A and B are shown apart, each in its own frame.
Chain A
């Protein structure tokens, strides 16, 4: 190797490229390198296909020699509705710094196998073939030992966008494993909205501009909606008033007209206090209430159940409900196929007599009478005692809401409260009384998926247009069959029904059963003192009843006989994300698992405790789209502009290779077929062909191209759209919802020149809602709800989850990260303290003898974390705020906030067998909560 002669040049990591500049221009000084600096090998479209909702910010990425060096907001969205500001520039500091993460220190570039104990961080670099063989054998072992449902994937929208999510779900579907419902896994739920409307929905962000009164409630858009916050400011310049409702003086309160400092967890009392004023002062919109809501529907006084057709005649329907028509003076069946009253005038008030099938008379009253009765407990003075808001403020807000176009910007905070459902139902009641939905600038919003071309592509049995037409024809036929069976079904209701039935044929599971049987939560959920007192029986009893009654029948779900054996994490981080985190899962789940495989671009906590780590590409290393949402209604493109470093592969490629390897190992082991939990036969010897649709989707580009083509064929993308036009323009506005259920549930047309306001089909076309009553439903007469006294919204105190401790721990998204994604991005770390902390009120800090920045232990009966205290008068006494997303590695002892969260679920959310109360992905099932957990905060000696 060594010698006195020059020998030959030996290059491995560098290679000769273009002509040397040094030949033409001798090198004098490093500044020579920067001549003509703003020149690039490539400028491409990029977006951040992660758990950033609504996101969809188009960026330009600047590439030199295969490295993405800069990102810049594109700012190219057009005006949708004349007179309404456009959405530009779109983007935030996290997006601008995203490329940094491709080159982050925690990036993993080669397949790894654990070389020590789980969590010991001893790794062996292995080849892809070795890694996939290990995983494939573990998958086959699990199927042979327990069954395919022991192969578990918890869906997250985290790091890989639709490309990754589709890849892993297709794999799970084909082998018969379990995919845990995404929104339940990440705890983004709005159960109260679902109880009321039978669906979830959102307006486009530019629709906020039309509002007169904007409530920022359970939300902090100054932090979390940076690209869209300008609509709040612009609406305000136009004359709108902005109200923040939050326990703390949140960053969004700074620019509000009114800040309402509600006590944590008492929002229902506030909303009901406003409702009481509106009813008391007769400010309500009676016509709206009669047409759109269940408030005129009759309830039997004797058993508090709706008056049903089955009460009035033998064999009558359980779902046909009634109102009292003031014009005909008769009890009249409420039409199920339309909200139009056809000349009837449903009474909101009064007491009537109905004759039961056996001839007995029974007293019935409209729901509104019961609402009025309940509201007597919520005079502003009484409500004030509960929520801490002055009665005058409650009245003032009530009057404004009644006369203005009011819009509640709801975040995913409410659903993370134990009684968040009651809070949301009370807010919906406020809007229902005042006619505040279904017209521009009004309503309540949460996240919602938009049209999605990949939905059809994923269901195809043949590639190309023929396969697409086959699927759309099948959907059309099934819809027609459903509507023939029940002519009262609208398109929306039929698609909703269809999607629910399709779910029960898929491998999508409600994770509550997984957590209960496999992850050790049963003990916590049975603790009476951590639950509401109206849970009169043990959690076990409710769980048993829900299953015995068949409310969850038909859907795949883990049970005590199906211990999990293979856990696939792809883009998420269950040991950080899950409430209870390491405390619960390492103790209860991990010992059951024979294989933990983590697919990610970086080492995270789950990766650290994995057996096999498979490195994947991220961001601009793979072609992708952002998850579409109705907030923007754009299909936003992410091009592959750089190659991945090391040996990282895209998720679809990883699963294609895994299918190939399973096929190979299955043949070698002579194990080719088995039956899944439904008894359906499954084969392993043609897995790759089925996964890739006979090799048609053997490349990511082919899949993406197919999505675009399918989008055009199904009419959700404009005619003439091609992969080339997408690549050139970077984003395309959708022109129709297609048959994606969440998009159809918007209940409005997607118009080319108007902001999107949901529920207009109900208010303008009088189409029914997908609820039991076919109306917006405030009264839920399910037995469990009646038992709990929750048939109507009310305020209940949050139970002392975690133990009887003096502080309530609340949370929210930080400004500097999308969940944990950007949390250790060096640039973001420089925009704040760069370490975990909790906010605390100065009086509380003084009482505890704490100084700014001091280390504290936050603890309860679950566990503890060590963090720093940040003292702020913006926090109310008794409250401690810990922002979401800090990584365990940022804490001493690696114990983050998840370790004090018991992950309680509300038992009532197991209810089913009642109209819209049945398992619906992203909408209805029990989901762990984490807000207002009780903790102690103590100085560390």
Chain B
């Protein structure tokens, strides 16, 4: 896979950089890392980060420092679907521990692991701001809320079926 944004994406990059004052293009770093992660396989490999550094004319280490600070950036490969289940206080009160245990036994993986088929990664996370709709998980761009074992079953079959096609 060659590490290069499409022309359309490069236009978007310029548009994002233009949101910030001249010479402050480093401000576009987090938005660009989001774009890069979405484009280049769901995680940020060193060459990807170097590419972003090049686009913003900053040092690679500045990108590494930022990418490893924020929890949404994966610096290691993850499965196709990242199941990020919240386990902080309010979700715990509503049974998030049981949901995490259920996913573990259902997929046969531990926290932070990926299924052998590369489809699912389970990542318990801290508060995502959906405390009133607990237990919940983040899946891609969206939240799945009021989770039950049945909902987890349905979700996993749906995603597995999609991958089969």
Binding partners A and B? no
Q: Which residues of B contact A (CB under 8 A)?
A: none
Q: Which residues of A contact B (CB under 8 A)?
A: none
